Amino acid sequence: MSDFPQPAAPTTEVTVWSLEQTSPADLLPSAVPEGDVRIVRSEVPLPEFSRFLYTAVGGDIRWTDRLVMTYAQWQATLERPGAETWVAYANGTPAGYAELDPQDDGVVEIMYFGLIPAFRGRRIGGHLLSYAAARAWDLAERWPGRPATKRVWLHTCSNDGPHAMDNYLRRGFRLFDTRTEVEPEVATPGPWPGAYGS
């Protein structure tokens, strides 16, 4: 072991914003995009598909927290009662997704939300967010025994795309918390090393 101090790993400062809706009436749906765009619930808890969506959407915006999860951990996350994954398809191709995370006392978090880079800027994001928020509000209808949803929330950060915050605000989400975190600089491989021209 060296007696010399090791250089500190590089870090970056990230601003995290948390937003919420406290009534279904808060939701301001976007227009439905033109073309063959459908949103379908992925009803089979499948870690392979979930990990594909996670890396394809988050590979260029520093989504790394789930990359260390084992297959069993991923499976357990997807199998939680009330957890749902809604996938947007454009012309039969996965374009993005939203993952709903049911929490205590009628709270539902939109845990992950985003589009694969090739589908950004095509008005799919507003439609997917509108749909995901609506499904968070009516989640108890699909899960007997769960309390009715009283609050839907999500968070975004300064690593996310430039239109993310505007999309959330336009859909009726309101800011309720802002914080700054220091995160390590880590490589984000995306669906495979070198994706997104990196």
Instruction: Please write the tens of the pLDDT for every residue from 106-118.
Output: 999 999 999 999 9
pLDDT at 28: 97
Answer whether residue 94 is part of any domain: yes
Is residue 143 in a domain?
yes
Nearest to 42 by CA among 93, 88, 90: 88
Q: What is the pLDDT of residues 55-104, one digit of tens each?
A: 999 888 878 889 899 999 999 999 999 999 999 999 999 999 999 999 99
pLDDT of the residue at 17: 95
In a domain, 37, yes or no: yes
- 6 lies in some domain: no
CA distances from 29 to 103, 126, 129, 157 (A): 24, 8, 8, 22
What is the CATH number for 164? 3.40.630.30
Arithmetic mean of pLDDT over the chain: 90
Give the residue among 106, 7, 112, 6 at the shortest CA–CA distance from 50: 112
- So what's the pLDDT on residue 11? 76
Do 131 and 97 meet the contact criterion of CB atoms below 8 Å apart? no
Quote the pLDDT of residue 198: 44
Q: Is residue 169 part of a domain?
A: yes
In a domain, 196, yes or no: no
Domain range enclosing 176: 11-189
The answer as to whether 195 is a domain residue is no
Q: How many domains does the chain have?
A: 1
pLDDT of 4 above 60: yes
Helix H or strand E segment including 71: helix 71-78
